[in-house]
Each structure stands twice: as structure tokens, then as C-alpha cells.
Chain A
Amino acid sequence: MLLAQVEQVQVPDLDFPAIAPILIVLGAACVSVLFEAFLPRSARWAAQFGLSVLTLVGAGAALLAYLGDAPATGVTTLAGALAVDKPALFLWATLLILGLGSVFLMADRRVEPGGAFAADAAIRPGTIQDRAQATTVMQTEVFPLALFSLGGMMVFTASNDLLTMFIALEVLSLPLYLMCGLARRRRLISQEAAVKYFLLGAFASAFFLYGLALLYGYAGSIKLSAIAAAAGGSDRSDTLLFAGIGLLVVGLLFKAAVGPFHTWSPDVYQGAPTPVTAFMGACTKVAAFGGILRVFSVAFEATSWEWRGVLWGVAIVSMLIGAILGLTQTDIKRMVAYSSVAHAGFLLIGSIALTDEGRAATLFYLLTYGFTTLSVFAVISLVRDANGEATQISSWAGLAKRSPVVAGIFTVLLLALAGIPFTSGFVGKFVVFSAALADGMAPLVVIALLASAVAAFFYLRIIVLMYMREPEEDGPTVSLPGVPTTITIALGVAVTILLGVFPSAVLDWSVVGAFVS
């Protein structure tokens, strides 16, 4: 009797090699919390930084080791909660390497003396204690937060049912909300950004959850494959299905900062400490679009005729909002935020192509865009005046004269964002648009190209400022970056140029085939 009961409880199959990268990252995040609690303050920075780098490299090594004998079609594990397939592995690799770059930026203590983060985020801005902490070294809680967030992103891109996806969404979001409020300088707008992001993010999560509930009501299961099977042929209520898809997609598009669900992104990008902005701009984008790709391809492919038209509209709106509102920005971080809204529109085009080419193109674009964005924010963090980062675009005038190297690097990155040939941005645009065109979305491609032309104007404006204006008397100077920031910038620029000139190898990797479910 007792024995029979024990036998009934099935321990789910665990494919340890497949999920090792996730386990390493999340496990190290827990260790990192312990470090924070038990290590003396003086030892924490080195320990946390070292642990984070080791973790990400180790997870990458585990991923590579698994890649060798991974089944070509992918596997599902944890009772089908996680799907470890080629797209997931590609996204994980992308996340790990971009995460590594972000961790380098967070660890830099030279650009901003003491680090970009507040020593004690709980102190109210403007008080005496706050002024006192301005000169002390940073708190290192940002490292465990980043690791948790990254772990959440990895689960998110591989989750095979909606509930896992929701939990992953929260695991990746909650640390981000906190990280946004940690800025050492200009703490008020940093905290404002954190609150804004949290409130709007909570709404988006609610949307997602509501959509999840409706879809469960429709299909009787939260598994993506079960939803697909139910939608494939049944006489159940379409209202539940479409309302569910709509709400779920709103939640996803919010995370990806696709217009018109982008309203949080300019404020948050501007207010958050720049290394965190870089982390959000690169990694969150990858995770969100990874999730979008999986949900669209696995769960909703059968109904694509019904929802694709709506997403055409969303993509158009996103591209136009990003390109047009980007023109009017005076703050460089806000400008990059709007640029990322436009790029999200391009990515959405690739995501709704629902072909192997479309998937490959989106993944490639995510990789190239992530590297470029990371370096863009790294460079932004270098240009400073007495009040910290000089994010007013007008204060960048004549930068080429003061610091030709930084201006040159930034020009390459801006040209990549604009999609000029010989940069990765061009190849990315090319693959996405050709996939879209092959899938019959010619009007969308034309609109995307026009939006690119408009967006080029604001990238160019900065090049004009840097190269063709005289520097102001009390203009900002370029701080000498520490080693970690230098590595991130160098890596980003190298990838941007290399993938622009020799994209073949990575294009091959990005051809990942279908999702497993």
C-alpha cells in the first residue's frame, strides 16, 4: 500500500547536462547572496566580481560541452517545463556573453570613482547621509541581482509552458526593478525610474497572467504544445483564445519595449545607472524576443492568420514611434531608448515571419544588436562632466577633437545602429528584411526601410555634433575607462565590425531550425 503510493509519485526526468548552464547561474546567484551577507565589505567587490565572471564563463563552458552531444531536435526536461533546443541554446549563449559584458560594466570602479552604484540605496536622496555616502565605495548587491535576472532570462527563453514562463518573467524582472534604483548620481530620477518600471511592469505581468488564465480556460492546459493542439482544430470558444493571446502578447511586448507598449523605456533607460541600462537594453531584449519567438512559433502558429495582421500594425507603430520621437530627444540615453523601440519593431517583423529564416534572422539580429547596444551605453558612461554623465546631446559637441578614439568608436556604433554596410547592423537588417520579404511582408519591409532612413537622421546628428562642431568651453571630458569597461567596448566594437564584414560563421550558427515542444 505504502509502496504503491511511493511509486505513484513520479520524479520528473532531469537532464542535468542540458540545464547545467541555468543551474550554474542560479546556484551562483545564491552563493553570491551569501557572499553579500558574510564577507567583509572590503573583500566583497573582488569576490562578487570574480564569482560572477567565473559563473558566466563556467555556464558558457557547460553550454559548449553540452552542445557537442546535444540531440539535434532538442529535448524537453523537468516534466516538459523546459525545452532545451537549438534556439534556446543560441539564446543562452547570447545572454551569457552579453551578460558577461554587462557585468564588466557594472564592476568598473574607475569611470565613476567607487563604482556606478550607490553605497546604500535606501538612504533618501539629498540628505546629509546621502552626501556622505557619495564618496564611499559601492554596494555589491548588484551582482547577485544581475545573476538572478540573467538566470530568469535563460529560463524564460526555454520555458515550455506558460506558468514557467510567468515565473521566469518575474525572476528576471524583479531584480531589474531594484537595479534601476541603484544609481550613485542623480538618485531621484533613478528611483523614479525604478518605481515607474515596477508599477508598469506589474501591470504587464498582470496582463500576462490574465492572458494565461484565459488560455488555460480555452485549452485546459498551460503547455504551449497543448494550446497549439487545441487551437489546431476544435469547436471551443475563439473569444477565450484570442482574448488570451492578446493579453499574453501585451505582457510580452511590454518586456520587449515594442511600441506602443514602450512608454516605460525612455524614462527607465534614462534614470537607471548606465551599466544597468546596458544590461536591460541588451539582455532583456534578447530574452523577451526569445520568449516571443517561442510562444508565437510553438503555441500560436496555427492561428497566425488571425493575429498576424494586428502585429503588422504593432510593428509599424513601433518603428514609427521609435524613429519619429527619437528625432526630438535631447538626452542621449532617451534617444537610444527610442532607437531601441524602432529596433524592436524590426525584430518583431522577423519574429512574426514564423519561418526558419525568420527565426534565424531574429536571433542573428538580437546578437548583433545586443553587442552594439552594450558598447553604446559603455561609451555613454565615459563622457562625463562635473555632475556625472553628460547625457545632454548638445554637450557632446566637438568630442572628436577632445577624444578622437571615443568619437570614432561611437561613430562606428551609431552607423551600425543606422544599418550602414560593413557593420553588423546592416547584415542584421538584411537578414530580417529578406526573411520578411520571402514570407510575403513586402509593405512592412518598405515601411521599415523608410523608418530606418528617418532614424538615421538622429544617429547622424550626433556624428555631426562630434565631428563638425567646436567643443564648448566647459564641455564634458572623456574619462579613462577601467579595464572591464575597455574590454566590453572593445568586444562590442570588434563584434560590430567583424559581423559586418564576415558574418558567415554566425549566420550558420543562427540557423537553428524549429523549436521543440
Chain B
Amino acid sequence: MSGAFLLPALLFLPLVGGVVVALLRNNDKLAKLAALGFSLGELVLAVFAWIAFDANGARLQLTSSVEWIPQFGVNFALGVDGIALVMIALIAFLVPIVIGASWEEKLPEGRTLGGFLSLILVMETFMVGVFAATDVFLFYVFFEAMLIPAYFLIGRFGGPRRTYAAMKFFLYSLLGGLIMLASVIGVYVTSADVLGKGTFEWAKLAEISKDLSPTAQFWLFLGFFVAFAIKAPLVPLHTWLPDSAAEAPVGVGVLLVGVLDKVGTFGFLRYGLSLFPEASKQLAPLVLVLAVIGILYGAFLAFGQSDMKRFVAFTSIAHFGFIALGIFAFSSQSISGSVLYMVNHGISTGMLFLVVGMVMARGGSRQFADYGGMAKLTPVLGGLFLVAGLSSLALPGTNSFVSEFLVLVGSFPNEPVFTILASVGMVLAALYVLRAYQQIMQGPVRGTALVGLAGGPGSATDPESDTFKSKIADLSRRELIVLAPLVALIIGLGVYPKPVLDVITPSVTATMTEAGVTDPVVAQEGDK
């Protein structure tokens, strides 16, 4: 198949963009336009890649490979399967939206928007790289390199506790990454033992690693597992996420939760199930327990949050539980559901983050308690908040419903107990989303962020007066343009998920073959 240039282009275009934008950073307007231009160019490339991809074709497509460090059999090898392709498409889709949403971002003193956007573009390169790498060494390199722009984005441009959050984020990820490095080297050394010449090529490793002894598989997988469990995040290792997401600027939060964390779940599929099938099965009960704990615990904590950004972070932890559940339930429906969930979660949580950011941009506070009755002042924002919320709680008709349903239906035959427990999480989701919506949007206009402190400057303001309404304005045209594509996808994929599922399913089937698992006999035709 032609189109081998597409992935390298997707990889390097944002990097070039990052450099250009960094050079233009003294001119805000030009820098913004350049950043947007590059990110839209990336989106166009992603569309081409989508077209060039043949869902029923080879396992890895659009491949290209250049020798990098021949002494260690390291190649700069790129290629995608359906799962990686949808993730790259998601990245390419979200980045322009994030840039649009950050158009008038209030940054800490002394920081330029150009610097911010340039880092976003550099991060896009590494994110694409993580999903496009078919060489385990290259994957590791991107995995770690991704931390650096993310670290600076949080630490330089974030909220009041940004240094702490950035440090915590970096150390957690680095720790996971270094443990993974031990396994990466281990895989290489093993391949050298088996093949005579070591390799990092994923496809070759997938062939030989299945024949390893279960103990060797277990230890090698464990290294990858810890890194992915931190990234994904599974429950005892999740504590960095709320801090990072809360302190990161809204746009970075979208990418952090929407894409960066998916590396963990993607890794479970590509480097867990396919490379170490026996070990994955061995560790599955542990993951399932953690996943269900994540679903319930995340939901409870989301319900109890007083900070809106932390709230979104905890809803994500609950959602990641569903994704992990689907992957480790080992049926084609559940895994397809999980992959679709990865996309949908990026869209709906991304949107939730953005609308929360828009609320905060108006009220200037992150606390729920400072808001109330906002829908009266900003009906459109209120409506879109509701759309994002409903998508997040997986209302039928929205995108998340399809994926959550697939995960639960697919998991049930193999893991009935865990599935039943997990479905409680659906109810809890309704609870926390609606509570948040009610607090911010419903009822009479109230809260210090909207009407000012009692006795303070805003206290005497009549909520009905025009001056007040002009201060808390409804969505601007820019904000509408930013949110419109997300709403379209939420509803579009809710009604007609087939185009995405068609791309995902063959890869999921292939992954299952590699993992040596088959669907349980009771599996039905399901959604077909």
C-alpha cells in the first residue's frame, strides 16, 4: 500500500510547526494563526491516512522503516493498525480544538501564548509517535519524550500549584517509564537469545515472546504493566492525575486526559495482550479488580469533589476503569468497546473539560460552590454543558453509550461479577454529572463567582440587570466554533458508530488471535 510517507509526515509536521511557532512567539497573533494552520494541516494528513488505511488489510499498514541504531537492531519504524489509527485521528482532531480553546488563554505573568502553543505542537509529535511506533525502542523513546513538553506545559502555564503538579506528573511517569525500560531491555536481550541477533521490531517480538516461559513473560510484562497502569491510571497509581489535570491549563488537561492517558490502555493492547498473552491472562484478575475499584471509587470521589477540574479528572478515572475492564475481559465485543471508548472518552471528556474551562473563564473560580443558576445568564453554555455531561454519563444516543454498552455486554459472559459491579458505576455517573450540572447551571443565580461576595463589589448587582449580564456573557462565536465539532461527533458517533468500529474491529480480532483468546460461546451477534 502506498502512503508510507503519511506517518512520517504526521510525525514531523507538528514538530516543524512547534519550531515555527516558537520563533514567532513574540507576535501573539501570528503565532496563534501559525499554530492553528499547522494543526489543521495535521488534521488533513490524518484524514488522508484514514482514507489510505484498508481496514481489512494487513495487520500493520502505512509502514515505513529506517535503520536508526543498527548495533541494537533499532529501527525508526512506523506503522498503524486500526486501533492506533483512530487514536492518531483523535489527536489530530483534538489539537486544533485545543488551540482554538486556548486562543484567549490567560497565562501566568511573563509567559507567551506562542510558547504555549509551540509546546502543544511538540507534544502532538510525540503523541503521534507513541501510537505510530512499531519498534519497541522507538515507542519507549516517544513515551518518555512526551513527558518533557507535558511537564513544561503544566509547570509553566498551569494554576497556582503548577510546580507541584508538574513534578508529581513527571516523577510518576518517569518511574513507570524506567521500570518499563527494564522490560524493554529484557525483551531485547531475550530476543537476542532466541534469534541470535537482538531486535526491537514489534512484529518479530510478538512471534517469539509467546514461546517464552510463563515466568519470563510475567516479569517482562510486569515492567510494561506498571508503566501503563500509571499512565492509564489504575486506582492505586492514579493520584497524579487529579493534581495534574486540575493545575494544567484547560487545553493541556484535554490532551492529558483525552490522549496521553490512552497510551496506557493502548499499551495494554499492543504490548500487553499481543506480546505477553500468558502473562496478561495471569494478571487479568488483578486488573479487573483494580478496574472495578476505579469505576466505583472514581465515581464516589467525583461526586465529592468541590473543584470542577478535579471533578473531571475523577470522572476520567471511573471511565478508565471501564476501558480496562473491557480489555481484560478478553472478548471481541468488550475489546472493541474499549477501543471505541478510548476515542469517545477523548471526545466527551475533552468537551467536558472545555465547557468547565469556559465556565471558569467567566466566573474565575474552580469551586462548584461559587456558581449557581448560570444557565439563566448563559443558556447556550448551559445547554452544551448538559450535552457534555450526558455524553459523559453515557446516555443512549450519545457516543459513549455505544462503547459503554459494548464493554458491558462483551464483558458479561466472561466476567459476570465484575460486569455487574461495574454497571453500578453507570448509575453513579448519572449522579455525579447531574449534581454538577445542577449546582452550576440550575436554580436562582447565586455564588460568589457570579454575584460577588456579600458586601463586596458585586453584591448589590441585580442579576437581571443588563450590566451584570454583559459581565457574564454567553458563548462567543469562537467558543461555539470550538465546541461544534465535538457536539457533532458526540451525536454522530452515538447514532452511527460504524465507520469507527469498522476500522477497529479487524485489529481487535487480530489482537485476540495474538493473545490466543476466543470469544465465549454464548456471545451473540450483538450490535451487528
Residues of A within 8 A of B141 (CB): 421-422, 426
Docked pose: A244 CA to B70 CA in angstroms: 42
- Determine which of B69, B140, B171 lies in contact with A460 in the assembled complex, contact meaning CB atoms within 8 Å: B171
Shortest beta-carbon distance, A346 to chain B, in Å? Answer: 12
- Determine which of B69, B142, B188 lies in contact with A503 in the assembled complex, contact meaning CB atoms within 8 Å: B69
What 0/1 readout, one digit per residue, does chain A (413-427) give for beta carbons within 8 Å of chain B? 001001011100011
Docked pose: A452 CA to B178 CA in angstroms: 8
Q: Given the interface contacts A464-B166, A464-B167, does A420 sit within 8 Å of B182 by beta carbon?
A: no
B179 near A449 (CB under 8 angstroms)?
A: yes
Shortest beta-carbon distance, A147 to chain B, in Å? Answer: 35
Docked pose: A382 CA to B423 CA in angstroms: 61
B155 near A468 (CB under 8 angstroms)?
A: yes
A449 near B181 (CB under 8 angstroms)?
A: yes
A438 near B192 (CB under 8 angstroms)?
A: yes
Check if A508 is an interface residue, CB within 8 A of chain B. yes
Docked pose: A452 CA to B303 CA in angstroms: 38
Q: How many residues of B contact A (CB 8 A)?
A: 35
A446 near B182 (CB under 8 angstroms)?
A: yes
Which residues between 98 and 135 of chain A lie within 8 Å of chain B, taking CB atoms?
Answer: none
Size band of the A side of the interface? 35 or more
Shortest beta-carbon distance, A505 to chain B, in Å? Answer: 10
Shortest beta-carbon distance, B508 to chain A, in Å? Answer: 30
Residue of B nearest to A360 (CB): B71
B182 near A449 (CB under 8 angstroms)?
A: yes
Which residues between 392 and 438 of chain A lie within 8 Å of chain B, taking CB atoms?
Answer: 401, 415, 418, 420-422, 426-427, 429-431, 433-434, 437-438
Shortest beta-carbon distance, A513 to chain B, in Å? Answer: 14
Check if A504 is an interface residue, CB within 8 A of chain B. yes
Residues of B within 8 A of A464 (CB): 155, 163, 166-167
Check if B152 is an interface residue, CB within 8 A of chain A. yes
User: Which residues of B approach A to under 8 Å, CB–CB?
Assistant: 68-72, 110, 140-142, 144-145, 147-148, 151-152, 155-156, 162-163, 166-167, 170-171, 174-175, 178-179, 181-182, 185-186, 188-189, 192, 219
Residues of B within 8 A of A253 (CB): none
- Determine which of A450, A461, A469 lies in contact with B178 in the assembled complex, contact meaning CB atoms within 8 Å: A450
B174 near A456 (CB under 8 angstroms)?
A: yes
Shortest beta-carbon distance, B115 to chain A, in Å? Answer: 10
Check if A445 is an interface residue, CB within 8 A of chain B. yes
- Determine which of A421, A450, A456, A468 lies in contact with B163 in the assembled complex, contact meaning CB atoms within 8 Å: A468
A401 near B110 (CB under 8 angstroms)?
A: yes
A437 near B185 (CB under 8 angstroms)?
A: yes
Shortest beta-carbon distance, A205 to chain B, in Å? Answer: 37
Docked pose: A467 CA to B68 CA in angstroms: 33
Residue of B nearest to A445 (CB): B182
B69 near A507 (CB under 8 angstroms)?
A: yes
26 A-B residue contacts at CB 8 Å? A420-B144, A421-B144, A426-B144, A430-B181, A430-B185, A431-B72, A438-B189, A438-B192, A442-B182, A442-B186, A445-B182, A449-B179, A452-B178, A456-B171, A457-B167, A460-B167, A460-B170, A461-B167, A464-B155, A464-B166, A467-B152, A468-B156, A468-B166, A504-B70, A507-B72, A508-B71
Check if A37 is an interface residue, CB within 8 A of chain B. no
Shortest beta-carbon distance, A241 to chain B, in Å? Answer: 32
Docked pose: A460 CA to B172 CA in angstroms: 13
Docked pose: A38 CA to B171 CA in angstroms: 58
A421 near B174 (CB under 8 angstroms)?
A: no
Docked pose: A467 CA to B72 CA in angstroms: 36
Q: A427-B69, A449-B181 known; 7 other A-B pairs, CB under 8 Å?
A: A420-B148, A437-B185, A438-B192, A442-B182, A446-B182, A457-B171, A460-B171
- Determine which of B174, B189, B192 lies in contact with A453 in the assembled complex, contact meaning CB atoms within 8 Å: B174
Shortest beta-carbon distance, B237 to chain A, in Å? Answer: 14
Which residues between 435 and 494 of chain A lie within 8 Å of chain B, taking CB atoms?
Answer: 437-438, 442, 445-446, 449-450, 452-453, 456-457, 460-461, 464, 467-469
Shortest beta-carbon distance, B107 to chain A, in Å? Answer: 13
Residues of A within 8 A of B144 (CB): 420-421, 426
Docked pose: A449 CA to B148 CA in angstroms: 19
- Determine which of A433, A457, A468 lies in contact with B182 in the assembled complex, contact meaning CB atoms within 8 Å: A433
Docked pose: A401 CA to B162 CA in angstroms: 18
Docked pose: A452 CA to B144 CA in angstroms: 14
Residues of A within 8 A of B189 (CB): 434, 437-438
Residues of B within 8 A of A426 (CB): 141, 144
